[in-house]
Structure 1
Amino acid sequence: MSGGRAVRRQRQDVADKPFIVIWESTRACPLACLHCRAEAVPDRDPRELDTDAAKDLMGQVAAFGQPAPLFVITGGDPFQRPDLLELVAHGKEAGVRVAVSPSGTPTLTPERLRAVDEAGAVGLSLSLDGSTAALHDGFRGVPGVFRWTLDAWDAARELGMKVQINTTVTRRNLDDLPDVVRLVHDHGAMLWSAFFLVPTGRGKVLGALTAGETEDVLNFVYDVGLTVPAKTTEAHHFRRVALQRRILADLGEDHEEALRLGPLYRRLRDRIGELGLDTGERRVRRPPLDVNAGRGFVFVSHTGTVHPSGFLPLGAGSVRERPLTDIYRSSELFTGLRDADRLGGRCGSCEFRQVCGGSRSRAYGVTGDPYAEEPWCGYVPGSFPRQRELAALLSGGATGKADGAPSPARTAR
């Protein structure tokens, strides 16, 4: 096998400490996004964690030990909270790295972004769901969001902030994904995350992708990893794809034929060629990180309830009543989700289950069972023809622990 890693393992013991903690600071948001998990509303909920409770939550995150998990303040729109800057500054004092994931609204002024940066935020996460105003504004439900987002993106970059761009993958924008990548390439970003829709909140009414379409998009995301730093969210089988593609490349085999990719993949690749993004200087591909709901990832709602993911609405307790460290380490829900042997269906018998595990959020959203098989994966366990090479790769030949600080992750908005 060639050098480098196909998948990154988490540096810390995932049973002891999460890689990232997402806090839904509020559900207040002026947008009306078609996919919104939070079903955001115009006004703040009086049950939200207040300033003191939010600072206490940061203390609970710090209690996991140094380096503390990355703490992402999301929503709704966190700029609807007047204490946002105070909380970012408090996180820095408490030894907790804080990233902010705001909505694309007129609140994203250069002055406010500068204030967030000066308060100590380590990064910014923005959503871009189309390469045009018609596509993005239509998805977000408010005219002007596309322009506000681009302006905020450029302003943050000028300030030297690390920016992550998140794109929700739905039927509405499948063929537009290469053009979104072009914007990421041209404007510059630390990371592009393709978020695969989970049928929860308003997202229940949006059409599902087929397993074949999902496979085509995952392979496309893998390809553009040589053009922009790319990852997926709620598409954990991307790690399977990374392993398969690594083996096929080492053997000089045609991945399109070997993996039986479909016409969507070919259209996406052709469009990348038309945009001139498949030539020129190539970057080093960023290996996907092995993180899943409850396994390195934890979500705290605006009222303080703790969930394995913002898209998995099963609660394991409240930070008002029980320390987050205790909930993450010992609650039945979290310990169960970290046990790959509890997975059912094809996921339970899959040779990739230890490094993939499928979207537990989507499994629950579709079937009501968080341990059910991944609905958007069509892989038949054992069908990959290079099992010997795969076994060698999974044994550690091209996997390793994550290095460096985590980036601002996909928000649970």
Structure 2
Amino acid sequence: MTTTVPDAAKAVRHQRHDVADKPFITIWEVTRACQLACLHCRADAITRRDPLELSLDEGKALLDQIASFPKPYPLVVLTGGDPFERPDLGELTAYGSSLGLSMALSPSATPNLTTERLGELRDAGGKAVSLSLDGAQAPTHDAFRGFEGTFDRTLDAARLATDAGFRLQINSTVTRSTVLELPRLLTTVLDLGAKLWSVFFLVPTGRGQQLQTLSPDEVEDVLHWLVDVSRFIAIKTTEAPHYRRVVLQRLDAARAGRTPEHGPLHAELTAMTRELLGDREVHERPARPPIDVNSGRGFVFIDHQGWVYPSGFLPHRAGNVRDTPLPEIYRESPIMRALRTPEQFVGKCGVCEFREVCGGSRSHAYAVTGDPLASDPTCSYVPAAALGSAAAQGGVAASAAAQMRAHAH
């Protein structure tokens, strides 16, 4: 089922290749070592490198596998832990660049992040750096990251990265305790000259199980607020693909002359944003359309030991690059194939008219229900089809899910 939203193809970007053939983006956790102790850490990072992590030669072999996908090659992000804990990071970056891969880095704000190291990685062909800011003030962010001084170090690191010629992305995790800092975070992100703001909706995995997630209605309000501010900076949401649904619904409402309904959190965020921006001169730009990438559908994650997952927040192993080439895992793994078949999703996600462009957060579904094909529990939208035929659709999808789970391990 497709949407009837006018110009929907322009409001949301679609991957131009066959999503069953290759991913749009590949995230490689080059190490799990990190000197921080972030409250929401997916990886339960440790202070020392794991002796079982992929070696330099194995890492180069993985980059060869990524470059074996058809052109244009998937984007590559080297993350962690803290990728700067690997002394051979420059060599890995240079090798990937020599293959024609677009290499990006996602370091932690620690003393490892220096002008000299950034210069080495820029010379090696690194193109973008993403840094995390989870609070608009030092006490919030430093408590989140586990060490005092991390907030100020992140601001310094952002300036160093842009001075070195990297394209800067800021990542921010939203929880109930940090959500009201989003408007002030927006001003900080703008001041830093970031090109993209990636807002991550907490998945209760790893250390993140200790934190409070937003309710579905609160998530909806934040998504609407992000659409509002997307005229100031390009917005990406992580584990909230229903942002794309909201974009389409807002476009539909605007064309029909309707005002979307919002909850109290949206009103509070909007009032705070208006007050903070005030008379400030902020450059407005056409909103950058989000792209329809989802777990296993244009997205793939490889951990430090070579295990492949649909997402770093969906701990459902699809295979290991030490045994099976990444292209084969991505194309043939039962879990990957199932995630690219949204009509098999259980409940309302399986019958939603936005399922092809959204698909719901598979990581949230898995974290809450144990089923990666279940409906996204963070989405408040109820599609019309779910009111009448959800039971029948859910029965078919549940059968397919059971078959997939039986073969996925």
TM-score, normalisation: structure 1: 0.90
Q: How far apart are 1:5 and its partner, in Å? A: 1.3
Corresponding residue of 1:58: 63
Q: How far apart are 1:332 and its partner, in Å? A: 0.8
Whether contact under 8 Å (1:108, 1:148) holds in the other structure is: no
Amino acid at match of 2:95: H
Amino acid at match of 1:334: M
Corresponding residue of 1:396: none
1:218-265 CA distance string (max 9 Å, x none) = 00111110111111110010011000001111122111x3xxx21110
Corresponding residue of 2:286: 284
| Structure 2 gap ranges (5+) | 1-5, 387-409
The 5 Å alignment of 1:2-401 reads 5-255=10-260, 257=261, 261-276=262-277, 281-382=283-384
CA distance in 1, matches of 2:174, 2:87: 32
Instruction: Tell me the SS of whatever aligns to 2:157.
Output: helix
1:140-168 CA distance string (max 9 Å, x none) = 00111111111010111122210110000
CA distance in 1, matches of 2:51, 2:8: 53
Instruction: Tell me the SS of whatever aligns to 1:222.
Output: helix
Whether contact under 8 Å (2:8, 2:248) holds in the other structure is: no
CA distance in 1, matches of 2:110, 2:257: 47
Given the superposition, is the C-alpha separation of residues 341 and 72 from structure 1 closer, same or farther in structure 2, using an over 3 Å criterion?
same
Whether contact under 8 Å (2:351, 2:385) holds in the other structure is: no
1:58-84 CA distance string (max 9 Å, x none) = 000000022210111000000110100
Corresponding residue of 2:397: none
TM-score, normalisation: structure 2: 0.91
Q: How far apart are 1:343 and its partner, in Å? A: 0.4
CA distance in 2, matches of 1:92, 1:45: 25
Q: How far apart are 1:382 and its partner, in Å? A: 2.0
Whether contact under 8 Å (1:2, 1:250) holds in the other structure is: no
Given the superposition, is the C-alpha separation of residues 281 and 85 from structure 1 closer, same or farther in structure 2, using an over 3 Å criterion?
closer
Q: How far apart are 1:275 and its partner, in Å? A: 1.2
Q: How far apart are 1:174 and its partner, in Å? A: 0.6
Higher relative contact order (CA 8 A, sep 6+): 1
Q: CA RMSD in A?
A: 1.5
Whether contact under 8 Å (2:232, 2:282) holds in the other structure is: no
Give runs of ≥4 in structure 1 deviating > 3 Å: 1-4, 277-281
Instruction: Tell me the SS of whatever aligns to 1:275.
Output: helix
CA distance in 1, matches of 2:352, 2:95: 44
CA distance in 2, matches of 1:3, 1:56: 40
Task: State which drifts further: 362-371 or 270-279.
Answer: 270-279
CA distance in 1, matches of 2:41, 2:264: 29
Q: How far apart are 1:28 and its partner, in Å? A: 0.5
Identity of aligned residues (%): 55
1:298-321 CA distance string (max 9 Å, x none) = 000100011000000111110000
